[in-house]
Amino acid sequence: MILILKQGVPPERVNAICAELKEKFGVNTHPSTGATETLIGLIGDTSAIEISVVEMFDDVARAIRVSEPYKRANRAFHPGDTRIDFGNGVVLGGPRVIVCAGPCSVESDGQICGIAAGVRAAGAAMLRGGAFKPRTSPYAFQGLKDDGLKFLKNANRQTGLPVVSEITNPSQVELFNDYVDVFQIGARNMQNFELLKHVGMGKKPVLLKRGFANSIEELLMSAEHIMSGGNPNVILCERGIRTFETSTRNTLDISAVPVLKKKSHLPVVVDPSHAGGEAWLVEPLSKAAIAAGADGLLIEVHNDPKKALSDGKQSLNPSEFAALMEKLKPVALALGREI
Amino acid sequence: MILILKQGVPPERVNAICAELKEKFGVNTHPSTGATETLIGLIGDTSAIEISVVEMFDDVARAIRVSEPYKRANRAFHPGDTRIDFGNGVVLGGPRVIVCAGPCSVESDGQICGIAAGVRAAGAAMLRGGAFKPRTSPYAFQGLKDDGLKFLKNANRQTGLPVVSEITNPSQVELFNDYVDVFQIGARNMQNFELLKHVGMGKKPVLLKRGFANSIEELLMSAEHIMSGGNPNVILCERGIRTFETSTRNTLDISAVPVLKKKSHLPVVVDPSHAGGEAWLVEPLSKAAIAAGADGLLIEVHNDPKKALSDGKQSLNPSEFAALMEKLKPVALALGREI
Amino acid sequence: MILILKQGVPPERVNAICAELKEKFGVNTHPSTGATETLIGLIGDTSAIEISVVEMFDDVARAIRVSEPYKRANRAFHPGDTRIDFGNGVVLGGPRVIVCAGPCSVESDGQICGIAAGVRAAGAAMLRGGAFKPRTSPYAFQGLKDDGLKFLKNANRQTGLPVVSEITNPSQVELFNDYVDVFQIGARNMQNFELLKHVGMGKKPVLLKRGFANSIEELLMSAEHIMSGGNPNVILCERGIRTFETSTRNTLDISAVPVLKKKSHLPVVVDPSHAGGEAWLVEPLSKAAIAAGADGLLIEVHNDPKKALSDGKQSLNPSEFAALMEKLKPVALALGREI
Amino acid sequence: MILILKQGVPPERVNAICAELKEKFGVNTHPSTGATETLIGLIGDTSAIEISVVEMFDDVARAIRVSEPYKRANRAFHPGDTRIDFGNGVVLGGPRVIVCAGPCSVESDGQICGIAAGVRAAGAAMLRGGAFKPRTSPYAFQGLKDDGLKFLKNANRQTGLPVVSEITNPSQVELFNDYVDVFQIGARNMQNFELLKHVGMGKKPVLLKRGFANSIEELLMSAEHIMSGGNPNVILCERGIRTFETSTRNTLDISAVPVLKKKSHLPVVVDPSHAGGEAWLVEPLSKAAIAAGADGLLIEVHNDPKKALSDGKQSLNPSEFAALMEKLKPVALALGREI
């Protein structure tokens, strides 16, 4: 971090500011005084220093961060890709593009087990399904809750597919531990720091969805919350952001894929179903995600989208999903990956 | 709700769709067939029916909501203003503009009690202060937690000012019940539905901040979550939204004030400190908020903004706050209100 | 401007960079080398230096602008408020809040003259009306063009109200010179630099509307385009920006008023009609604009909004306008202004 | 278009509204009255009818457009892809992905001719270069103007590459006709309707860049402006939109590619250089664009990006461009296209 002082600050004030910085934050300081400007470089771990706090110091005009405010999620300190190994060749963050498929909501035991068998046959490597559903309306279907988790576990037993499901309350951690392989943090909870703290205390992988109005840096800071609790297994998910454009449900920020891969070593997956909000958009957005370097895809598949209790418009049926997988293969190959 | 059917749907299918709607949602249906179009009007409570679900029905081209998807928060069903009475003349939602002041973070017992005395003397009607602080960085100051709440309670005992503080975990409800007068739901938790559900089970007023990328309708739906749990005492707070403009911390959506007052009977307050992000902007934005019809203001006041552990840039000191209150009086009077 | 060099740049390279800066941009340079960082302060007029250009220099890590990239529009170099005097007590930028009213489109001679008489009687100081209408659809009403200007001139002759109308093509400058008192640059043309250049060659005041996705700094840079051509008479207009919120036509950025007044000496007006997009919102937004410090208002008034050829939903009729003016008076007075 | 009337409108008023619609807009009307609602279907060409105008009619509650407001750009009325043939196998809108490369600004004859030779050798099919540069700052480099066009023409003569350059003033049409093969309308001029009208009067292809805050529908309406003047040769360009995210210059709206291809028959190209704003992002965004179905790419190539007079940060040098082309080939092939 570099502080630019106001013009004309006398040397004794520069020294006093340096002393205050050292005492408050434990950093070393290196002042440089030119003809018109004095600046102070801070050496050491500045990730806990807030710009807005040091800019309030007397005589400080401006503070500029030259290193990112996150460490554990930062590729600079962990150059190799993080890989999360689920066994049976399912490794997220490696050469294989991992496709995780399943319905928005688990609706019954038969439904989820049927979908699981279908998507596994088509090449999906993981199963997703919602049991606790955060819904904008209190009057909408809120999910099967505990039963939904049990049905997911059945589907996992029958197919071997690792299971992802969304957790919504810190008190659910123990329950989810028994049933799922990956905790999903939904977009609306990306900055629910209590929830992040609690999933950060274990080791189960956490699929962290980007909030629809959160910046890439904020996503990485939320990953840092989880990792600073001791859990290094974070999966970043781009799922579209909120913009003025209304012809798609959200605006898929495709650039987030290469930017996240550059800034962080964590695996990056894309959810084309929520981003586009329409079944027909899943194919072009999935291809684009692979082309941009995504490590995986989250795709909504429902046995009968017309009767889905939620998000039917953006869901594929199992045979559409199988057709999609065939179309994604040559794209993955062209990028030097498999799927 | 009105469904527009695809062209050329035969009468027997129209009847079948009507039967399905009645069975699934318990609504009465009124089909109208013209020369080119058939539409079905749904009569009854349609708030639990999702557009995206009925648009997936075979032969349905489009569904249009003609009434809002919220009921309890809706002025149509509750024409009079909701007033929340804290005693001692502090009534939110009535003619007096209620100013709630205090620091971003409670930092010590002496600090909060001193600020409380100062802001009360200047005309504040309520005290605000954060004890559990949701922070973007896991390395930033996270608040004094339980101690912060105790210090707030002391300040309340000494000054009589009702106290507002932010709750961040459903498990804190009992703790907060003992110490605060109003539960604050922060912007990042506006769609943390588990938290909404838990504060909706009691009767303590809830100050619900608009998420920085949430629409006005979503804010009202989150109020509906709380109210549908049984708690009618919701206070809506506009605190700025995220846009492309970077010269202010957020963009204060001043239009949200009259729009919320028209759509809902709930009291509406404005937080000019977070919206603008700069101390000098608090005065013009406070005046604008009163002029637009706000029932109250949330203003950050710190004993020594230069040394604040958070948000110092946007905080006033107690004497600046007193000066502000003097300037707001004539504006409130010109609008036929007091402050 | 300050350049921060990459670490470990040898002194001879620092000198070479300084020489290159001096030669290319005619600025003096003041390098400062500390223990870990070297920076170069640039002294002189840096407004023509682009950040992105100097950041491409070898060995430069980052460039930071410490002064704004605009000069003529900058309050730092012109502390006093710019006032534009139209005669008859109509001075924009002074204590009186100037209300400019009139229809979206001039529809006939009788219409505009009738509206002009009505709004003058109610206290409007200026008349607005569109003759050349930029429309999203090529099939929508495009305005009366030359005839519209003539009718505006008639209205001006009959009432004495100075007239504002939108210019859309550089070739129209001469024509407009004969008919209008203020050239309006519409939001969609805020960065039509050819148009800015041409209105900047004369002295007629220019009402420059902020583009709906342009930042405050970009608005001031467009003002600078006009002023650098020799025309100092620029009026800045906030008319709402494009965000994700759909309950209003645009989102009025009320903070832009105090921010523009602080950064620039130019008068600032607000268009509550376009910002809100609904007639009932004009009153609260007008009050908020005055409270925030606006120097004037642009209000759409149509003789019969139900039959307007454009923007009827956001137009007041003359008697609604008269009622509005009565309600704005006490607000202006409370702020120490008249209207 | 369907109008939903207010409840309880008597039959004679329904008839009167139908008569008014027929007279004003020349459309046939089909009213349908159910138990609770009456609606009127409008049959015929409704593209000139504005929602906001008919919603102002007495007794009309709401108007809903069921067909798009554009015709000439609409795939519904022109199912086959529009192909623009420049000769020598350069056909935009066909199986070959057309890459158009060149510098942001033409800086000299030698520069542009050298770049043209380089990019042609690497497989570019077209040449781009700016001669009239719209710049945010009046103090920045504004382009070589007429000389720039002449140098572009030389490069075209030497390489045979068709040339694209940006036009900024309706008065330049004749000049550009002599020198360029494609008129580019820049993002800031997408709704400069005077300019659209003038380029719509000829037959030269027009590359229409999406404004950074314009919706997909607005882009198609601007294409409609050009086409309604008689010029069917419009090329649509996605170049990133303005959002809250700051880690990229703009946010590439990758979904716009399939959405535009579905709604319109016009060719769609992507500008990854402006979207990302960084040279290293060009590769992943180009791959994603091809994967999403783009018909072409616009890529900034400069002989020496470090010395570019504008946009150096996002420019590739010719050898980087050649390497990029090699990497794009297998992606195009995997999609069944060539490049």
CA–CA separation, D261 vs C233, rounded Å? Answer: 46
Contact list in B for residue C274 (CB cut-off 8 A) is none
β-pairing verdict for A60-64 and A2-5: antiparallel
pLDDT, residue D42, reads 86
Closest partner residue to C134 (CB to CB) among D191, D311, D313 is: D191
CA–CA separation, C179 vs A194, rounded Å? Answer: 64
Q: Which of residues 184-213 of B touch C (CB under 8 A)?
A: 213
CA–CA separation, D192 vs C189, rounded Å? Answer: 6
pLDDT, residue B35, reads 65
Judged by DSSP in three states, D257 sits in helix
- Is residue A260 less than 8 Å (CB to CB) from chain D? no
pLDDT bracket for residue C42 (50, 70, 90): confident
Closest partner residue to A30 (CB to CB) among C2, C35, C43 is: C35
Contact list in B for residue D32 (CB cut-off 8 A) is 32-35, 37-39
> How far does C211 lie from chain D, in Å, by closest CA?
9
- The set of residues, in sequence order, having a beta carbon less than 8 Å from that of B47 and lying 6+ positions away, is A137, A139, B67, B68, B69, B70, B71
- Is residue B175 less than 8 Å (CB to CB) from chain C? no
> How far does A30 lie from chain C, in Å, by closest CA?
6
> How far does D68 lie from chain B, in Å, by closest CA?
15
pLDDT in tens, A204-228: 999 999 999 999 999 999 999 999 9
CB contact under 8 A, D53 and C310: yes
Higher pLDDT among residues B52 and C143, named by residue: C143
Q: Which residues of D89-102 are buried (b: 16+ CB within 10 A; e: fewer)?
A: ebbbbbebbbbbbb
Higher pLDDT among residues D6 and D148, named by residue: D148
Closest partner residue to D215 (CB to CB) among A244, A281, A334 is: A244
- Is residue B68 less than 8 Å (CB to CB) from chain C? no
Residue B148 to residues B104, B107, B131, B179, B317: CA-CA distances in angstroms? 12, 7, 5, 10, 20
CA–CA separation, D154 vs D103, rounded Å? Answer: 15
Higher pLDDT among residues C239 and B6, named by residue: C239
Residue entry with tokens 């279908």: A118
Tell me: pLDDT of D35 over 70. Answer: no
Contact B196, B183 (CB under 8 A): no
Give mean pLDDT, residues B157-164.
98
Tell me: pLDDT of A51 over 70. Answer: yes
- Is residue B247 less than 8 Å (CB to CB) from chain D? no
Tell me: pLDDT of D312 over 90. Answer: no
Portion of chain D with pLDDT greater than 70, in percent:
99
Q: Which of residues 31-50 of B touch D (CB under 8 A)?
A: 31-39, 41, 43
Residue entry with tokens 């699929």: A207
CB contact under 8 A, B291 and C287: yes
Give mean pLDDT, residues B201-218.
96
Give mean pLDDT, residues B129-136.
94
Read off the amino acid at residue A301.
V
pLDDT in tens, C108-128: 999 999 999 999 999 999 999
Give mean pLDDT, residues C71-96.
95
- Is residue A288 less than 8 Å (CB to CB) from chain D? yes
Read off the amino acid at residue D270.
V
pLDDT in tens, C277-292: 999 999 999 999 999 9
Window from A58-72, A253-267, C146-160 with minimum mean pLDDT: A58-72
Window from A25-29, A40-44, A215-219 with minimum mean pLDDT: A40-44
In this structure, what token pair is assigned to residue C241?
Answer: 């920006």
pLDDT, residue A35, reads 66
ipTM of the prediction greater than 0.90, yes or no: yes
CB contact under 8 A, A41 and C64: no
Instruction: Tell which residue, B1, B11, B5, has the closest CA to residue B61.
Output: B5
pLDDT in tens, D165-189: 999 999 999 999 999 999 999 999 9
Cβ neighbours around A24 below 10 Å, total: 12
Judged by DSSP in three states, D83 sits in coil
How many Cα atoms within 13 Å fall on the side-chain side of residue C330? 14
CB contact under 8 A, C242 and A244: yes
pLDDT, residue B250, reads 97
Task: Write the DSSP symbol of residue C81.
Answer: P
- Is residue B64 less than 8 Å (CB to CB) from chain D? yes
What mean pLDDT, rounded, does chain B reach? 94
- Is residue D248 less than 8 Å (CB to CB) from chain A? yes
Tell me: pLDDT of C35 over 80. Answer: no
CB contact under 8 A, A310 and B53: yes
Task: Write the DSSP symbol of residue D82.
Answer: P
Window from B62-66, D33-37, D142-146, D206-210 with minimum mean pLDDT: D33-37
- The set of residues, in sequence order, having a beta carbon less than 8 Å from that of A319 and lying 6+ positions away, is none
pLDDT, residue A68, reads 86
Window from A192-196, B85-89, B219-223, C308-312 with minimum mean pLDDT: C308-312
CA–CA separation, D155 vs D163, rounded Å? Answer: 8
Q: Which helix (H) or strand (E) holds B261?
A: helix B256-263
CA–CA separation, D41 vs B5, rounded Å? Answer: 13
> How far does B165 lie from chain D, in Å, by closest CA?
29
In this structure, what token pair is assigned to residue D109?
Answer: 């004859």
In this structure, what token pair is assigned to residue D110?
Answer: 């030698």
CB contact under 8 A, D291 and A291: yes
Tell me: pLDDT of D82 over 70. Answer: yes
**Secondary structure in 3-state letters for C153-182:** HHHHHHHCCCEEEECCCHHHHHHHHHHCCE
Tell me: pLDDT of A171 over 90. Answer: yes
Give mean pLDDT, residues B48-75.
88
Portion of chain A with pLDDT greater than 70, in percent:
99
- Is residue C62 less than 8 Å (CB to CB) from chain D? no
CB contact under 8 A, B139 and A48: yes
> How far does B245 lie from chain C, in Å, by closest CA?
5
Contact list in D for residue B39 (CB cut-off 8 A) is 32, 34, 37, 39
Contact list in A for residue C64 (CB cut-off 8 A) is 4, 62, 64
- Is residue C61 less than 8 Å (CB to CB) from chain A? yes
What mean pLDDT, rounded, does chain D reach? 94
pLDDT, residue D310, reads 83
Tell me: pLDDT of C89 over 70. Answer: yes
Helix/strand/coil percentages in chain C, nearest 5: 40, 20, 40
pLDDT, residue D36, reads 66
φ/ψ region of C252 (left if φ > 0, alpha if ψ in -120 to 50, else beta) reads beta
Interface test with C, best of D193, D243, D315 (most C CBs within 10 A): D193
Tell me: pLDDT of B310 over 80. Answer: yes
CB contact under 8 A, A291 and D288: yes
> How far does B152 lie from chain C, in Å, by closest CA?
32
Judged by DSSP in three states, C124 sits in coil
Closest partner residue to A34 (CB to CB) among C36, C41, C244 is: C41
> pTM of the entire structure?
0.94
Higher pLDDT among residues B178 and A48, named by residue: B178
pLDDT, residue C333, reads 98
CB contact under 8 A, A331 and D331: yes
